[in-house]
Amino acid sequence: MPDSRPNILFIMSDDHASHAMSCYGSRINQTPNLDRIAEGGMRFDNCFCTNSICAPSRAVILTGTYNHINGVTTLDSNLDGRQVTMPKLLQAAGYQTAMIGKWHLGHGGHADPTGFDYWNVLPGQGLYHNPEMIEMGERKVFPGYATDLITDFSLDWLGQRDTERPFFLMCHHKAPHRPWQPDDKHALLYENEEIPYPETFNDDYSNRAVAAAAAKMRIDRDMTLTDLKQPTPEGLTPEEEKKWKYQRYIKDYLRCVASIDDNVGRLLDWLEAEGLAENTIVVYTSDQGFFLGDHGWYDKRFMYEESLRMPFVIRYPRSIAPGSVNEQMILNVDFASTFLDYAGVAIPEHFQGSTFRALLEGTTPDNWQSSMYYRYWMHLAHHHVYAHYGVRTLGHKLIYYYADGLGQPGAIDDSKEPEWELFDLERDPYELMNVYNHPAYAGVKAELTGELHRLQAKVGDTPYAHPSARGM
Ligand code: CA
């Protein structure tokens, strides 16, 4: 009997914010091939990560657990591949599995990819041009551009598979991660255009916790020559210089995205040519969001919207209505359970996410999640972002900057005074006004504090040991 279980093609890029995808209403670029997935399936408008940084988000997706459980709290913590992962379960159930591209969860020992019949990954961050890759443990240098190569290797692997069994392929792009190096094909894209500026480009970080002003990810101050690729022209006013840097940054970022879009198109074309489009679940997502000049920043890490939100478009003609949009909340920790559900594999009891298959098939389960728990652990490392945890509901967000490294790998042990932020996302969608101490929000504050502690206990995380952690 033919195997009717769906193939799963999971395409994930690195640091691609949804506001740089035209299906999400981007004002700054077009992504026709990514839009094909949304038009043929469902776009999620409230998909969030539980820790907005590369390795931790990847660990959550693979293990179906939060970072305090899977052990990858920071960029400096490897994934112990001896634990149960979603790809291992698919492989055991007869799926052909592969991991191609950016891994970023360590190498050697127990950190190499497990649960994959084939893997070929960039070491660490990897290079854009002529990258070294580790193919099944063997290091080799490949001539070419990373986004093209990762797609080439994906197509090669798909081409040689056993057509009698379903496949699960993780195609993970390095792009558009810093330092945003485009390929020759897109090097002059947007050359004579001025890309629009975000609404919060000139944020002055007033009316917020100290954490926002303390962060070192400002376009006008913190970008390097490696980021900009050209010396800053002389004679510019501070305002002109900031705009010049933004144009340099955002154009290279969008050029890297354009290459991803072309290469996703190649994979979609291949599925159609092979007659596999009907029976293949195709996902496009990114490990987290990114600040595209929002708040005057690049980078991520914060629980603020642009960083917290992941793009998530999914196509599966057999069960998802084309052109649908879903505003329910889904999280990266839910992906593993959802794929196992579609593959007919039992979801382990210790997995902490929920399958959102019902949402994909047009119904919303009673009591579907309307709040989520977030935690960023890597205190002060790289961009001087304070460690924090918090809760986001449909209308509000509460953040507690406990601001302590707690001995986490790579975090810096220089604790700061804890602070709280509360935002009313309906009135203040750009999160410019902390209303934590506003009397009108006393009720909301109490409710969200309770919800934060409920979620923290539910996922088994430990509150920060400080009197202020209970709320002020
Ligand atoms: Ca990332």
What separation in Å is there between the alpha carbon of 363 and the centre of ligand 1? Answer: 31
pLDDT in tens, 206-265: 999 999 999 999 999 999 999 999 999 999 999 999 999 999 999 999 999 999 999 999
**What does the alpha-carbon distance between residue 207 and residue 287 come to, in Å, rounded to a whole number?**
29
**What does the alpha-carbon distance between residue 66 and residue 413 come to, in Å, rounded to a whole number?**
23
Residue with structure tokens 């955002």?
250
pLDDT in tens, 164-185: 999 999 999 999 999 999 999 9
Record the tokens describing residue 472, joined without a space: 């002020």
Confirm if 379 and 403 have CB atoms less than 8 A apart.
yes
pLDDT in tens, 325-384: 999 999 999 999 999 999 999 999 999 999 999 999 999 999 999 999 999 999 999 999
Q: Residue 266 above 90 pLDDT?
A: yes
**What does the alpha-carbon distance between residue 1 and residue 466 come to, in Å, rounded to a whole number?**
61
What separation in Å is there between the alpha carbon of 13 and the centre of ligand 1? Answer: 8
- Contacts for 263 with CB less than 8 Å, ≥ 6 apart: 147, 148, 150, 151, 173
Backbone angles phi, psi at 168, to 5 degrees: -130, 115
Confirm if 243 and 163 have CB atoms less than 8 A apart.
no
What separation in Å is there between the alpha carbon of 146 and the centre of ligand 1? Answer: 16
**What does the alpha-carbon distance between residue 256 and residue 179 come to, in Å, rounded to a whole number?**
10
What separation in Å is there between the alpha carbon of 125 and the centre of ligand 1? Answer: 10
Q: Residue 99 above 70 pLDDT?
A: yes
Please report, for the chain, how many H helices and E strands are present, in that order. 14, 15
What separation in Å is there between the alpha carbon of 149 and the centre of ligand 1? Answer: 19
Can you give 225-248 as a three-state secondary structure string? Answer: HHHHCCCCCCCCCHHHHHHHHHHH
**What does the alpha-carbon distance between residue 288 and residue 284 come to, in Å, rounded to a whole number?**
12
What separation in Å is there between the alpha carbon of 471 and the centre of ligand 1? Answer: 31
**What does the alpha-carbon distance between residue 463 and residue 457 come to, in Å, rounded to a whole number?**
8
Quote the DSSP letter at residue 199. T
Record the tokens describing residue 165, joined without a space: 């069994």
Q: What percent of the chain has pLDDT over 90?
A: 99
Domains and CATH numbers, the chain: 7-182+248-362 (3.40.720.10), 372-470 (3.30.1120.10)
What separation in Å is there between the alpha carbon of 377 and the centre of ligand 1? Answer: 15
Q: Give me the mean pLDDT over the 24-40 stretch.
A: 98
What separation in Å is there between the alpha carbon of 439 and the centre of ligand 1? Answer: 38
pLDDT in tens, 278-308: 999 999 999 999 999 999 999 999 999 999 9
Q: Which of 206, 263, 319 is nearest to 31 (CA)?
A: 263
What separation in Å is there between the alpha carbon of 19 and the centre of ligand 1? Answer: 15
What separation in Å is there between the alpha carbon of 222 and the centre of ligand 1? Answer: 19
What pLDDT does residue 141 have?
A: 98
Rg (CA), the chain: 22
Cis ω before 179 (30° cut-off from 0): yes
Q: Which amino acid is at 226?
A: T
Confirm if 306 and 291 have CB atoms less than 8 A apart.
yes
What pLDDT does residue 457 have?
A: 98
Residue 280 pairs in a beta bridge with 7
What pLDDT does residue 472 have?
A: 78
What separation in Å is there between the alpha carbon of 338 and the centre of ligand 1? Answer: 22
What separation in Å is there between the alpha carbon of 298 and the centre of ligand 1? Answer: 12
- Contacts for 227 with CB less than 8 Å, ≥ 6 apart: 178, 179, 180, 248, 249, 298
- Contacts for 130 with CB less than 8 Å, ≥ 6 apart: 141, 142, 143, 144
Confidence of residue 1 (pLDDT cuts 50, 70, 90): low
SS3 347: coil
**What does the alpha-carbon distance between residue 273 and residue 123 come to, in Å, rounded to a whole number?**
33
What separation in Å is there between the alpha carbon of 438 and the centre of ligand 1? Answer: 35
Residue with structure tokens 């490696």?
226
Q: Give me the mean pLDDT over the 298-319 stretch.
A: 98
What are the DSSP calls for 262-313, one per residue?
HHHHHHHHHHHHTT-STTEEEEEEESS---SSGGGB----SSSHHHHEE-EE
What pLDDT does residue 3 have?
A: 84
Burial class (CB in 10 A: 0-12, 13-18, 19+), 23: buried
Residue 169 pairs in a beta bridge with 9, 98
Task: Residue 345: count other Cβ atoms within 10 Å of its Cβ.
Answer: 18
Q: Residue 21 above 90 pLDDT?
A: yes
Please say whether the dihedral angle defined by the alpha carbons of residues 132, 133, 139 and 142, taken in this order, is positive or negative. negative
Confirm if 57 and 51 have CB atoms less than 8 A apart.
yes
Quote the DSSP letter at residue 41. S
Pairing outcome for strands 42-48 and 309-310: antiparallel
Instruction: Characterise 403 by phi-psi region: left (phi > 0), alpha (psi -120 to 50), beta (else).
Output: left
Record the tokens describing residue 255, joined without a space: 């050029």
What pLDDT does residue 401 have?
A: 98
Q: Residue 199 above 80 pLDDT?
A: yes
What separation in Å is there between the alpha carbon of 55 and the centre of ligand 1? Answer: 7
What separation in Å is there between the alpha carbon of 300 and the centre of ligand 1? Answer: 8
What separation in Å is there between the alpha carbon of 218 and the centre of ligand 1? Answer: 18
Q: Residue 2 above 80 pLDDT?
A: no
What separation in Å is there between the alpha carbon of 441 and the centre of ligand 1? Answer: 34
Confirm if 383 and 299 have CB atoms less than 8 A apart.
yes
What separation in Å is there between the alpha carbon of 308 and the centre of ligand 1? Answer: 11
SS3 342: helix
Q: Which of 255, 256, 257, 219 is nearest to 238 (CA)?
A: 219
What separation in Å is there between the alpha carbon of 169 and the centre of ligand 1? Answer: 19
- Contacts for 393 with CB less than 8 Å, ≥ 6 apart: 370, 371, 448, 451
What separation in Å is there between the alpha carbon of 92 and the centre of ligand 1? Answer: 29
What separation in Å is there between the alpha carbon of 340 and the centre of ligand 1? Answer: 24
What separation in Å is there between the alpha carbon of 145 and the centre of ligand 1? Answer: 19
CA distances in angstroms from 227 to 181, 222, 251, 258, 281, listed in the order given: 9, 10, 12, 18, 36
Helix or strand (DSSP H, E) at 424: strand 419-424
Q: Residue 105 above 80 pLDDT?
A: yes
